[in-house]
Amino acid sequence: MLKKERAKLILERLNSLYPETPIPLNHRNNFELLVAVLLSAQCTDKRVNQVTPALFALASRAMDMQNVALERIYQIVRPCGLAPQKSKAISNLSKILVEKHSGEVPEDMQMLEALPGVGHKTASVVMSQAFGHPAFPVDTHIHRLAQRWGLTKGHNVTQTERDLKKLFPRQYWNRLHLQIIFYGREFCTARGCDGRVCELCSSCYPNRKKPFIARKA
């Protein structure tokens, strides 16, 4: 099966399985989304959703968060891991948003990436889910599945993102990003599938005999 044929099969199956793609991180505005995505680095969405209600009860906008003591932020976000870095980033980016962007999350990739603790993946999620701009955020999980399905030979998430953007039309990027995440959690987990178990892995490579070892991002 050619790569384009695998991509077509995958897109059709994911559209069938996940016609709706609700954003898994609970939020009420763009600032809350930005903070939630920042917290989700090396942390599950479930844990983030357990932590953010207390944080957003204190401050749901940059204008208010800039005045919250760093230690208070730290104590709340501690269960998410990397709490010293994340709490400092939340405090500092809140101040920057107020000073440079009137307290609003900017609708600009470069401006987002310039904020403390906001890398390309986080900025891409905000651009796609908050503002609706076509983006294809790739984390380690999407990187792993894209390799299992033969969509990329990328050695890192940057290369994998480029490969996926070439394979799939722009109008599918935002939804497909979430669909792959949903499928990976439900059917093609890191330990539950070795590239031969789930429906999409076995459909893409029906003759695969040995476990597939994905390159780490």
pLDDT, tens digit (0-9, with 9 covering 90-100), for 51-79: 999 999 999 999 999 999 999 999 999 99
Residues forming CATH 1.10.340.30 domain(s) in the chain: 30-129
From residue 151, give the alpha-carbon distance in Å to each of 2, 147, 205.
10, 6, 12
Q: Please count the residues of the chain.
A: 217
Residue with tokens 């077509």: 8
Q: Using one digit for the tens of pLDDT, what is the confidence trace for 14-26?
A: 999 999 999 999 9
Q: Which residues of 106-116 are buried (b: 16+ CB within 10 A; e: fewer)?
A: beebebbeebb
- Report pLDDT for 8: 97
Q: Which residues contact 138 (CB under 8 A, 6 or more apart)?
A: 121, 146, 157, 158, 160, 161, 164, 177
d(CA 120, CA 139): 10
- Cα end-to-end distance, the chain, whole Å: 25
Q: Which residue in 3, 4, 100, 121 is the catalytic one?
A: 121
45 is catalytic: no
Contact (CB, 8 A) for 206 and 48: no
Say whether domain 3-20+136-204 belongs to CATH 1.10.1670.10.
Answer: yes
Phi, psi of 193 (to 5 degrees): -140, 135
Structure tokens at 93: 């980016």
Query: Residue 154 has what pLDDT?
Result: 86
139 is catalytic: yes
**CATH code 1.10.1670.10 region(s) in the chain:** 3-20+136-204
Q: Is the pTM of this model over 0.75?
A: yes
Task: State the Cα–Cα distance between residues 161 and 121, nearest whole angstrom.
Answer: 10
Cβ of 141: how many Cβ atoms within 10 Å? Answer: 17
Alpha-carbon distance of 27 to 37, in angstroms, equals 10
Q: Taking the mean position of all CA atoms in its chain, how far away is CA 85?
A: 19
Q: Which CATH class is domain 30-129?
A: mainly alpha
Among 88, 139, 209, 210, the active-site one is 139
- The number of C-alpha atoms within 13 Å of 23 and in the hemisphere containing its C-beta is 22
Per-residue pLDDT of the chain (217 residues; tens, 9 = 90+): 899 999 999 999 999 999 999 999 999 999 999 999 999 998 999 999 999 999 999 999 999 999 999 999 999 999 998 999 999 999 999 999 999 999 999 999 999 999 999 999 999 999 999 999 999 999 988 999 999 999 999 889 999 999 999 999 999 999 999 999 999 999 999 899 999 999 999 999 999 999 998 887 6
Q: Which two tokens stand for residue 50?
A: 């357990």
